[in-house]
Amino acid sequence: MQHALILLLVLVAGMGLSIEAGLLGPLGEEVGHFSATLSIFLVGASLLTFALIFARPRMSEMFRQPRWLLVGGILGPIYVVVLTIATPLIGVGMTMVGILCGQVGASLVIDHYGLLGSARRPVDQYRALAFVLILAALWLIH
């Protein structure tokens, strides 16, 4: 049951990314790509700051972790800038399928080799087929 709820949560979050892309494209064209990206992160940082008021933050633990774990802080803005630039040019659907293709490809490599501290999950024929189908979806939606 918990697994199904997590999958539902992941699906809803994915839907949110498509909505975010749809909002960022026009915003980026009006105010500039970097300004739109900054606005998204300022709103998010404000919400997280508010949430931390009610949670027990463990910020001191964060600075004891290996520095490479903080690379996600660099990747997030890059991702949002790409969304902001690509969406008006190729549409939300093509942008999201392209991102999904990149995510699945990288995820399969990370899982297969157990990179970044994840458990090893070998790529089998079903996972490989799923990736091929996503590539086909990218080609078909183009």
- b/e per residue 69-96 (b: at least 16 CB within 10 A): eeeeeeeeeebbbbbbbbbbeeebeebb
pLDDT surpasses 80 at 106: yes
The residue to which tokens 């972790």 are assigned:
65
**pLDDT (average), residues 38-45:** 93
Give residue 103's domain range: 17-141
pLDDT surpasses 90 at 94: yes
Asked, for residue 9, whether it belongs to a domain, the answer is no
pLDDT surpasses 80 at 10: yes
Phi and psi at 118, nearest 5°, equal -85, 160
Asked, for residue 135, whether it belongs to a domain, the answer is yes
Is residue 138 within 8 A of residue 98, CB to CB? The reply is yes
Asked, for residue 6, whether it belongs to a domain, the answer is no
- What is d(CA 108, CA 126) in angstroms, rounded to the nearest whole number? 11
Asked, for residue 62, whether it belongs to a domain, the answer is yes
Asked, for residue 77, whether it belongs to a domain, the answer is yes
Per-residue model confidence (pLDDT) at position 55 = 84
**pLDDT (average), residues 1-18:** 89
Asked, for residue 28, whether it belongs to a domain, the answer is yes
pTM for the model = 0.82
**Nearest Cα residue to 100 out of 117, 83, 114:** 83
Instruction: With residue 72 as reference, give the H or E element that holds it.
Output: helix 72-113
Asked, for residue 12, whether it belongs to a domain, the answer is no
**Nearest Cα residue to 87 out of 36, 130, 131:** 36
Least confident span in 44-48, 61-65, 121-125: 61-65
- What is d(CA 72, CA 134) in angstroms, rounded to the nearest whole number? 24
Q: What residues have CB less than 8 Å from 28, skipping those under 6 apart?
A: 35, 36, 37, 84, 85, 87, 88
In this prediction, residue 124 has a pLDDT band, given cuts at 50, 70 and 90, of: very high
Asked, for residue 10, whether it belongs to a domain, the answer is no
What is the number of structural domains in the chain?
1
Per-residue model confidence (pLDDT) at position 137 = 93
pLDDT surpasses 90 at 73: no
Per-residue model confidence (pLDDT) at position 120 = 96
Per-residue model confidence (pLDDT) at position 63 = 81
pLDDT surpasses 80 at 56: no
When the pLDDT of each residue in the chain is averaged and rounded to a whole number, the result is 91
